[in-house]
Amino acid sequence: MRITPIINNLNLIKTQNGNRSETAYSTVLKLPVAADTITFSSKQTPEDIKRLKKLLEYKIPDMYSGKIMIAPAELEKILQKKVFSRPLNKIVPLLREYKTSLFPIEQEIVTLLEKDAKKYPTIKLEDAIHMRTMQAMIDLRQTQQPIFQALIEAAKNLPPDKQVEFKTLMDTTRHRLYNQPTLIPYSAKEFRYKLSRIEAGIQSRGIPSELKTMRKLKNIASCLPEKTVKTLSPKQRASSRIKLYPKTNINYINGLIQQMSKVLESSPLKRDKELNDLFNATKMRIYNIPIIAPFSRKSFLYELKKITRSIDDTRLAREMEKIAVQLPTSKENVSAFIMHSATHSSEKIGYDIFCGSVGTAEHLLPSLHGGSNYIDNLGLATSFLNSERGHRHMDTQLRKYPEIYENAQKYVNRLIELYNDGTFKKLGIDKSYILSFVSKMRKMAPAEHPLILDTSKLI
């Protein structure tokens, strides 16, 4: 079977990433990450986690990277003041203040914005991103093209029926890559997932009226049936053996979306671009109207795995999945970040720049493996590296990123400073926390490479 390759007919220009230097921890950025799995809301947070996170207001270095983390309260304050909606020359000083806390890609974005602010001081953050979208698309397609081509070559070994599925996936992908209208089926699961992603950003602002609106929207969304079934004519219904319940009708689904739209129109979020775009796109999906939808790496990997996980050749499945995960993410490629942000509001773009560097409570022994929420099993790490680690055991984490040995000592040194100056006592945190952290990290380190953390300065 012949599968048409994805080829960019434009004259491609060398990416900006080609010659850039990387930080010691930048190898982490080469991995896929579910960055949306962590939010900064304290709702239903265990007491020990709350207490430990108060330390984030005192310039705590990330136990993994050594970067000074951004306190959740700082980001909430910035978002509540709508700082990212101001002109670019008013935003850049703030971005510059936190630049050293950001990861390499976000730092590069800030550098670009600093240049833009000199030329176009009064434009919005979203306009600065839009100006760079065309070049970013060209650069990103150049990076993606050989990866897609390698997938196409590997797919020739798929069974005939799976080759057809793969070709359909690539046809849809081609439309998305080049902003061509395509039919995308409605999915309640996907709708609720996107609604949750939007909610995560809104939660960080901590505005009660906005949170109340999101709760109403999620309650209605919980009633959405997963798939649409067209309403049959009376004659068709009489001849059909399938009983159609009202909750599976297109009109019922559209009614729920309309209901959510009305809630949105009478709420403080009525001008929220992401929510309005989500509702409008969903209405078009319900009635099978072709829409222009941007390429999503996460969605592509999900659809590809549905194909590869259903074949008997596990070696081929692993090979194709290994090729696909090389597609750049917005955490490892500047152009991918720009394209990811192209449809977002200024507030959401600003949030995306900061959110990976916000401090979170990290379980030393992952919850999945029996780790508790008690303070003796907790450290502090940025949301990005917390999410990147996932459920990986600490000994594996230390083998994978040996720079943690040095950065964990920086973390302990700062804790000791805060204990010695009385901050621990003020926050109700006992001295034993430092000792238990040191002891637990030592026990979980690889036997061949012990982790020795110095506490000699602890009074």
Tens-digit pLDDT profile for residues 85-131:
999 999 999 999 999 999 999 999 999 999 999 999 999 999 999 99
pLDDT at residue 2 is higher than 50: no
The residue ranking higher by pLDDT, 287 or 191, is 191
230 band by pLDDT with thresholds 50, 70 and 90: low
pLDDT for the residue numbered 394: 96
pLDDT-wise least confident of 158-162, 193-197, 351-355, 411-415:
193-197
Q: What is the pTM of this model?
A: 0.74
Burial 239-254 (b: 16+ CB within 10 A, else e): eeeeeeeeebbeebbb
pLDDT-wise least confident of 224-233, 273-282, 445-454:
224-233
pLDDT for the residue numbered 236: 46
Query: Residue 31 and residue 113: Cα distance in Å, rounded?
Result: 26
Percent of the chain with pLDDT over 90: 65
pLDDT for the residue numbered 187: 87
pLDDT at residue 54 is higher than 80: yes
pLDDT at residue 15 is higher than 70: no
Within a 10 A sphere around the Cβ of 324, how many other Cβ atoms?
20
Mean pLDDT of 387-411: 95
Mean pLDDT of 378-405: 95
pLDDT-wise least confident of 31-40, 79-88, 133-142, 263-272:
31-40
pLDDT for the residue numbered 432: 95
pLDDT-wise least confident of 35-49, 306-320, 339-353:
35-49
pLDDT at residue 386 is higher than 90: yes
pLDDT for the residue numbered 41: 42
Average pLDDT in the chain = 85
Mean pLDDT of 280-285: 88
pLDDT for the residue numbered 229: 61
Mean pLDDT of 401-430: 96
